[in-house]
Structure 1
Amino acid sequence: MADTQVPRLHGYGVRWDTGARLYRVRNEVTRELLRQPDGELGGFGSFSEAWSAWRVFEVHKRPGE
């Protein structure tokens, strides 16, 4: 996927990319998507893996923490 293409995502933080059929991780504070070291968008096949990555990627105090 080219950098200029933005996937259609649904959700908050952990988002389902309908086109790629993968979960994507987005930092809702900075609005950036998690990328692999080579610059490609990171994708996860399971929600739990994506959720764990999001908790590390979006570091800020959340309600109840």
Structure 2
Amino acid sequence: MKSPEPAKLHGYGVLWDTGAQCYRVRNEMTREWLRTAATGELAAFSSFDAAWGAWKVFEVHKRPGEQ
């Protein structure tokens, strides 16, 4: 059985999963991984822009410069 968290991820919030060759999204405040609603599996994004857009909605705290 695979681990519920991907190994060897790099970055902050939007992370590259080298094993799965996709981007993952993590809420850095709660350390919770974004999952698909239908299956509960880790959400996977093929482009950084798509992952960044999902992270901006998923991450609940304001980032520097936001009002």
Same fold (TM over 0.5): yes
> How many angstroms does 1:48 deviate by?
0.1
SS at the partner of 1:26? strand
> How many angstroms does 1:62 deviate by?
1.2
- Structure 2: 5+ residue stretches without partners: none
> How many angstroms does 1:44 deviate by?
0.1
The equivalent residue for 1:43 is: 44
Letter paired with 1:33: W
> How many angstroms does 1:29 deviate by?
0.3
Identity %: 69
TM-score normalised per structure 2: 0.88
| Partner Cα separation in structure 2 for residue 25 and residue 6 of structure 1 | 11
| Partner Cα separation in structure 1 for residue 4 and residue 61 of structure 2 | 28
- Point out the structure with the larger strand share: 2
TM-score normalised per structure 1: 0.90
Letter paired with 1:40: E
